[in-house]
Amino acid sequence: MTAPLKILAVNGSERDGNTADVLRHAATAARRRSVVFETVDLRSIRMERCGPCGDCNDRTAPCAVADSVPGVVRRMVEADGIIFAAPVHGFGTASLMQTFIERAGVGYLRFDRPLSNKVAGVISVARRYSAGEVWSQLTANALLNRMIVVGSGFPATVHALHRGDALKDEEGLTNVTRLVERMTDMIELLAEHRRLTGRDDLLPAGEVNERVGLALNETKVAV
């Protein structure tokens, strides 16, 4: 029996507010397609900021800081698709999400790019300004990790100020629904390709690590 498809959403908001409401809307859309939808709320995990060690560019081993980040990375690796969702704070990405992409990226993901060929989607939530900038930053991070980024026509940006306002943005929620639908379609297409060809390297990763001076091409790093 084939395991159900799974999408993991990473919620970079400090509150159970509009971003969480948007992800609950996304979960409903996923369930209509029989997709398992799980959310990691970064506010609820133990996540340290980058420490003073300063050897990230030279390390060939995972981050030495002990917290919940490697567990989240493992869940991302196990999922078929990943949604990065964050609100705009101070005209930029909320600090929890910024910390996470720094810690996960440099500390774990850069060694052998385990998210390669995962299907990715991005959602940003803003009162009015900088929704596009945050959406672009998170999209660039997904592309850095060699993920297959799926769009929704208009970007999945939702506008809200007070708690509950996100659920009033019909156009934004339509784009979120479309994003989940298209992610599901792409995941199914890739699964069918694997079944027909027997290949897991849909898009060969090529050189494993982009860091100059790190000979990691033959190294698999466990998280």
Answer whether residue 216 shows pLDDT above 80.
no
Alpha helices in the chain (DSSP H): 18-32, 69-78, 95-104, 131-144, 170-197
What structural domains does the chain harbor? Answer: 6-197 (3.40.50.360)
- What pLDDT, on the 0 to 100 scale, is given for residue 218? 46
Mean pLDDT of the 59-63 span: 86
CA 159 to chain centroid: 20
Mean pLDDT of the 166-188 span: 98
What DSSP string runs through 149-167?
E---SS-EEEE-SSTTGGG
Q: Is the dihedral of CA 133, 154, 79, 140 positive or negative?
A: negative
Apex CA 68: angle with CA 136 and CA 51, to 5°?
Answer: 75
Residue 199's pLDDT band, with cuts at 50, 70 and 90, is confident
Q: Write b or e for each residue in 19-48: b if 16 or more Cβ atoms lie within 10 A of its Cβ, otherwise e.
A: bbbbbebbbebbeebebebebbbbeeeebe
Q: What is the pTM for the complete model shown?
A: 0.91
Please, what is the average pLDDT of the chain? 91
Distance (Å, whole) CA 200 – CA 131: 35
Distance (Å, whole) CA 217 – CA 214: 9
Residue 222's pLDDT band, with cuts at 50, 70 and 90, is low
- Which two three-digit tokens encode residue 55? 């050897």
Apex CA 153: angle with CA 151 and CA 156, to 5°?
Answer: 65
Find out whether 22 and 158 touch, Cβ atoms under 8 Å. yes
Answer whether residue 203 shows pLDDT above 90.
no
